[in-house]
Structure 1
Amino acid sequence: MGQIEEAKVSCLHTLTQHRELLVSRLKSIQCLLDNLLACGFFCEEDVEIVQRTVTKPNQVRKILELVQCKGEETCDYFIFIIFQVCDAYIDLQPWLKEIAYRPSKNVAEMKVINTDPISRYCEKLRDEMSRDTSFIMSYGQQDETRLEDLYTDTVMEMLNDCNESLGFKDTLNQFLGNDGVFNPQGEIICVMGDAGVGKSILLQKLQNLWSKKELQTDAIFFFKFRCRMFSIFKEEEQISLRDLLFKYNCYPDHDPDNEVFDYILRFPEKVILTFDGYDEIQELIDQISVPEMVSPEDKANSLQLLISLLSGKLLKGSKKVLTTRTGVEMQNRVIRKKVILRGFSPDHQKKYINLHFKEQEHRELVSVQLDASPHLCGLCSTPLFCWIVFKSFSHLHTRHDNFHLPKTCITLTDIFLLLSEVFLSRSASPAPSLLKKSIHCTSETFRAGLRPLSAFANLALQGLKRGSFLCNQMEISESGLTEEDMAMGFLRPVSDCNAGDSATFEFIHTTLQSFLAAFALVLDEEATASSILKFFTECSRKREQCCLPVAWCVTSSVKPTENKPFASNEHLQFTNLFLSGLLSKSKTSLMGHLSCFCS
């Protein structure tokens, strides 16, 4: 009993002995006050006394003074709060081990509510992330499917610094681990892959796993960004790191002392940052000439801020995952590991069929048709194209008795014609009854929807010419599109890219924008041969290879290159591919039929 009593008395003695250490390291006092008040150790007057004290160190001294005046159990509970809320008091965790703290039986049974701003913000981030990532809305604003109901893994191959294979990764929950790391000093996990292979949905799955605490990491903050949002900032517009993190994710609640941001700066290893679609802004980064930013307190151009984050000048030690299309080169010195997505394996594709089609009859019918067309099956190894094919089958099969997947050689142009037909048929006529379905006629569907299709196509072409993947409400209104047209699914609103009060929209995938741009060129009777050929000419020019970002590679100033409308050659390649497809002999009948109505 004597030893136990001595242990109890030691809590009061410990606070006296380590008073100055506690004063210097205790940063968050709100959680202490809330719990001391809730358990009856403090009264409202005690809390007011502390809050009236001017500086943070003096507030801690006042709390210690009040706690010690109230006896051993209060001192014990004070230390117990620090013990329980370890995230908020991370600086004091070594001290707790040093004093070998163990709460008394009575105190151990007392409740501690975590009201610390840092912990609250972490939970808020997880809640927001869970809500934002629980549904797949990647390929159509009318479609909303639970992520867990349709997500299917793809083949993930790890590469070394020479792009040689290091093997394959089976699951995502250990994605941030050390497997495949060839540069421990690097901070970027670079996820590469062709268009539509599933880079964005992989990030969404990672974010969702973190929100449910199923991702193997000790990071308590997760900030997600789409790279194209950095293109909407005006050149003279400046933003701070704090606003970039919080404005485009969520702001902390009840954090008057800025504890959350201070914690992030002190412990960047607790932070994950994702950047989706670097290839979409690579040209912009190549054109800028700005010094790297090193102060987290200063405001800067958004691209300067992005470069500083990726280079490790800001939040050095944080975990960064960046996606980009295959072929975009980056310096190996900033890359921690490389992962390239190879699309669906046969087993993945089979699983995707079972998830997509709920009826066994449809599963068997699609499987038979895929087996009968190896070329179509090969295209369906790319998740985006697979989704389009399956979505087209599901939608058009319910409306038409005679719809089947093409049995002959199918091209990417055919796939995007199918997708366009699905969108146009949504407003063409009411869904047919179960007893009577309409006859499938592609040309009639396109003819009936030619007005909105032409408007979407011209919008896509104008955006491609200026190197933009976004359009605003004014551009949409000027194109003649109505609210009913917008509901078809070609465009979707973008919440994180709104410029001022104007709503911003984007095509559901960059490849659809390329397809529609090609469609506009083919339908334009006034388009000269040279206006079409310039797409091929611009795309065939050999582009000088450059590394990410240019500011890391040079020490002298670099003059920004002229902002050319055809700078994004990677996306022009798809436009050229679709131009070739739409002008091919097999599409002469359809395009000729539509051209008659475009005059």
Structure 2
Amino acid sequence: MHQIEEANMSCLNILTYHRELLVSRLKSVQCILDNMLACGYICEEEAEMVQRTVTKTDQVRKILELVQFKGEEACEYFLYIIYKVREAYIDLQPLLKEINYNPSNDIAVMNVVNTDPISRYCEKLRHEMSRDTSFIMSYGQREESRLEELYTDTQIELLNDCNEGQGFLESLDQLLGDHAVFNSQGETICVMGDAGVGKSILLQKLQNLWSKKELQTDAIFFFKFRCRMFSVLKDTEQISLRQLLFKYNCYPDLDPDNEVFDYILRFPEKIIFTFDGYDEIQEDLELMDVPEVVSPEDKAHPLQLLISLLCGKLLKGSQKVLTARTGIEIQKKVIRKKVVLRGFSSAHLKTYLDLHFKEQEHKELVSVQLDASPHLSGLCSTPLFCWIVFKSFKHLHSMHDSFDLPEACITLTDIFLLLSEVFLSHSASPAPALLKKRARCTSETFKGGLRSLTAFAKLALQGMERGSLICSQEEITECGLTEEDLPLGFLKTVREYDSCGSPATFEFLHGTLQSFLAAFALILDEQAAVSSILKFFAECSRRRHSCLPFDLCIRNSSKPSEKEPFTSNEHLQFTNERNVHRHVMQCVCSHYPLQ
């Protein structure tokens, strides 16, 4: 009955009756002023008079006085702005529901421009994320592929709290949904998987869907981070949560009253975070004590902020998606849902093959070779290795008179040597004009690129020795690499670790490529004694399971200490196989004798 009576009230009377509610809950004054001014309900002098008022509540009171003085139509348009710009006036939506507000036909045709800082920031985030996620980087900076043209789903298996399979996801929308949640109090969705199985590209697809408003979520903010960034920043000055969110994503525009950050603090459930590659910083967390950070205004180590976000000490209620290598354990009490990526199924592999090869001849040739080689087909169930095989086939087939994929038992070593051959062939001199293609000679390719390959291997080994996944321009130069070497494809530029205009940093195309090259460097070192290589096997131990970071939230802080190189055994995947030595001898040593 009360609702019916209010529905019959004039808009002018509604503003009078709910005046104090409007004064206390209306936050975005500028959007009201901009639209009232654009439609001629107020003039420039009146808008300036409101802006000169000191406090936000007094500004709202002044607007209400002006609007009510202008009459019923101005009052209804005022309510219509609140109705249209829902994100900016979320606190007033219950009022509109209570009065059963519906715009009249005359008002409904009027334009409302959303100039609210919160809405503008949401659109800016979507624009930036769309730009950053629409392409898949390929060979260095030479080639990009559109995500929508190449992305292929993989098998995503749901796990319960005992790591038992619970079936497979049918779409990415289900990743954020309530299906198979085993801990309703947890906030972190854990995505596990082996190296190269597609964890990073899955997050990229998730981010891209959100940027295009195609992800089934009501989250209006999406912040993405790579975990290795926190490792890089661990020795810098402390930063606040506000700086972390805005500096490493994007800053709000025209937000003098900090409405965006206030909204983030008040409505954390409207936020999605993605943290890619937790395993890359696990050792950093083991070597430092991390106290809890409770106040969003406190400055702290970036790693402390990360832990506090994942623990729910900061922005409790926000959704977090965390990726990590298989074998990394996280406390169950903070995990909401867990999935593991199983790679391409046979159907997925066929879809990826169709997307990758447009020429029917190439498509059929690769399909026949995959069917004939169980080893090759098995490796291609891992998306990274499949991408390497397919891109290598396409590139080498375009350069040479004939090229077939390996038919015998092939290993990861073969895969990365094939990729190295492709990269090194970028610097090869073009074939004579009369020849369309040249005969493939792997030994000549490695002979011509040995200097570059040795320098990249040295860079990879030095990075692993100091526990770093990125390198600076100075470190690249010290290893003997030149400007001509950088576009080959082994490295890619990353600017997200430093937003202050410092020189660009670089990282290897994939962590597994760095591991392969580090092992390669151990074998190519002519001066290295056998004992100097064996010591890495002695120092290597299986990475222990950890319940970090969440048990660190109760400890006291201390400075991080130096970590030991080669505490994981990833680089030994390649030295442990004799194929590196065999292929190096076949491809290189006939021209450059090694001890």
Q: Identify whether the pair has TM-score above 0.5, normalized to the shorter chain.
A: yes
- The aligned residue for residue 530 of structure 1 is 531
Question: What amino acid sits opposite 1:487 in the alignment?
Answer: P
1:173/1:214 contact within 8 Å kept: no
Q: Offset at 1:171?
A: 1.4
CA deviations 1:246-281 (Å, max 9, x no partner) are: 111111111111101100110000000000111000
- The answer to whether residue 191 in structure 2 is matched with residue 191 in structure 1 is yes
Question: What amino acid sits opposite 1:59 in the alignment?
Answer: Q
Question: What amino acid sits opposite 2:509 in the alignment?
Answer: I
CA deviations 1:378-432 (Å, max 9, x no partner) are: 0000000001011111011111123211111111100000000000001112267
1:160/1:180 contact within 8 Å kept: yes
Cα 1:246–1:559 shift into 2, 3 Å: closer
CA deviations 1:433-491 (Å, max 9, x no partner) are: 69532111111100101111111110000001111000001111112211110010100
Q: Offset at 1:98?
A: 1.1
| CA distance, structure 2, for counterparts of residue 407 and residue 6 of structure 1 | 79
- The answer to whether residue 54 in structure 2 is matched with residue 54 in structure 1 is yes
Where do 5+ consecutive residues of structure 1 fail to align? none
| CA distance, structure 1, for counterparts of residue 254 and residue 560 of structure 2 | 46
Partner SS, residue 308 of structure 1? helix
Q: Offset at 1:235?
A: 2.7
| CA distance, structure 2, for counterparts of residue 583 and residue 174 of structure 1 | 42
2:7/2:101 contact within 8 Å kept: no
- The aligned residue for residue 516 of structure 1 is 517
Q: How does 1:174-213 map to 2 (within 5 A)?
A: 174-213=174-213
Q: How does 1:35-46 map to 2 (within 5 A)?
A: 35-46=35-46
1:376/1:410 contact within 8 Å kept: yes
- The aligned residue for residue 564 of structure 1 is 563
1:582/1:591 contact within 8 Å kept: no
Partner SS, residue 322 of structure 1? strand
CA deviations 1:104-138 (Å, max 9, x no partner) are: 22112211111111011111111111111111116
Say how many residue pairs are matched: 591
1:290/1:551 contact within 8 Å kept: no
Question: What amino acid sits opposite 1:518 in the alignment?
Answer: A
Question: What amino acid sits opposite 1:502 in the alignment?
Answer: P
Q: Offset at 1:502?
A: 2.5
| CA distance, structure 1, for counterparts of residue 7 and residue 293 of structure 2 | 52
| CA distance, structure 2, for counterparts of residue 187 and residue 585 of structure 1 | 49
Cα 1:576–1:354 shift into 2, 3 Å: closer
| CA distance, structure 2, for counterparts of residue 565 and residue 473 of structure 1 | 24
Partner SS, residue 176 of structure 2? coil
| CA distance, structure 1, for counterparts of residue 139 and residue 255 of structure 2 | 38
Q: Offset at 1:287?
A: 1.4
Of 571, 589, 593, 2:590 maps to: 593
2:283/2:563 contact within 8 Å kept: no
- The aligned residue for residue 580 of structure 1 is 577
Cα 1:550–1:92 shift into 2, 3 Å: closer
Partner SS, residue 175 of structure 1? helix
1:191/1:322 contact within 8 Å kept: yes
2:291/2:556 contact within 8 Å kept: no
1:196/1:383 contact within 8 Å kept: yes
- The aligned residue for residue 443 of structure 2 is 443
| CA distance, structure 2, for counterparts of residue 158 and residue 550 of structure 1 | 22
- The aligned residue for residue 349 of structure 1 is 349
| CA distance, structure 2, for counterparts of residue 127 and residue 543 of structure 1 | 40
1:412/1:578 contact within 8 Å kept: no
| CA distance, structure 2, for counterparts of residue 594 and residue 230 of structure 1 | 44
Cα 1:522–1:5 shift into 2, 3 Å: closer
- The aligned residue for residue 117 of structure 1 is 117
- The aligned residue for residue 226 of structure 2 is 226
| CA distance, structure 1, for counterparts of residue 86 and residue 313 of structure 2 | 28
Q: Offset at 1:574?
A: 3.6
Q: How does 1:18-167 map to 2 (within 5 A)?
A: 18-137=18-137, 140-167=140-167
Identity %: 70
Q: How does 1:161-560 map to 2 (within 5 A)?
A: 161-235=161-235, 237-430=237-430, 436-498=436-498, 501-539=502-540, 541-549=541-549, 551-552=551-552, 555=554, 557=556
| CA distance, structure 2, for counterparts of residue 236 and residue 334 of structure 1 | 28
Question: What amino acid sits opposite 1:240 in the alignment?
Answer: S
Cα 1:557–1:18 shift into 2, 3 Å: closer
| CA distance, structure 1, for counterparts of residue 521 and residue 582 of structure 2 | 18
| CA distance, structure 1, for counterparts of residue 208 and residue 70 of structure 2 | 46
Q: Offset at 1:533?
A: 1.1
Partner SS, residue 80 of structure 2? helix
Q: Offset at 1:582?
A: 4.1
| CA distance, structure 2, for counterparts of residue 254 and residue 433 of structure 1 | 58
Cα 1:302–1:414 shift into 2, 3 Å: same
Cα 1:586–1:445 shift into 2, 3 Å: closer
2:191/2:322 contact within 8 Å kept: yes
Cα 1:562–1:346 shift into 2, 3 Å: same
Question: What amino acid sits opposite 1:403 in the alignment?
Answer: F
Cα 1:401–1:123 shift into 2, 3 Å: same
CA deviations 1:77-107 (Å, max 9, x no partner) are: 1111111111000000011111112222211
Where do 5+ consecutive residues of structure 2 fail to align? none
1:581/1:587 contact within 8 Å kept: no
2:140/2:487 contact within 8 Å kept: no
Partner SS, residue 239 of structure 2? strand
1:522/1:582 contact within 8 Å kept: no
Question: What amino acid sits opposite 2:127 in the alignment?
Answer: D
| CA distance, structure 1, for counterparts of residue 76 and residue 577 of structure 2 | 77
2:290/2:552 contact within 8 Å kept: no
Cα 1:286–1:20 shift into 2, 3 Å: same
CA deviations 1:124-171 (Å, max 9, x no partner) are: 111111111111116633220000110000010000010001100121
| CA distance, structure 2, for counterparts of residue 247 and residue 128 of structure 1 | 13
Q: Which one is further off, 97-106 or 209-218?
A: 97-106
TM-score (norm: length of structure 2)? 0.95
1:121/1:260 contact within 8 Å kept: yes
| CA distance, structure 2, for counterparts of residue 100 and residue 577 of structure 1 | 68
Cα 1:558–1:87 shift into 2, 3 Å: closer
1:32/1:81 contact within 8 Å kept: yes
| CA distance, structure 1, for counterparts of residue 106 and residue 246 of structure 2 | 40
Partner SS, residue 484 of structure 2? helix
1:353/1:363 contact within 8 Å kept: yes
Partner SS, residue 307 of structure 1? helix
Once superposed, what is the RMSD of the aligned Cα atoms? Answer: 2.1
2:414/2:579 contact within 8 Å kept: no
Question: What amino acid sits opposite 1:205 in the alignment?
Answer: K
Cα 1:279–1:41 shift into 2, 3 Å: same
| CA distance, structure 1, for counterparts of residue 457 and residue 244 of structure 2 | 33
CA deviations 1:274-314 (Å, max 9, x no partner) are: 00111000111111113110111111111011100110101
CA deviations 1:39-95 (Å, max 9, x no partner) are: 110110110110010000000000001111111111111111111111000000011
1:139/1:509 contact within 8 Å kept: no
1:523/1:594 contact within 8 Å kept: no
Question: What amino acid sits opposite 2:137 in the alignment?
Answer: M
| CA distance, structure 1, for counterparts of residue 571 and residue 543 of structure 2 | 16
Partner SS, residue 484 of structure 1? coil
Cα 1:7–1:55 shift into 2, 3 Å: same
1:221/1:270 contact within 8 Å kept: yes
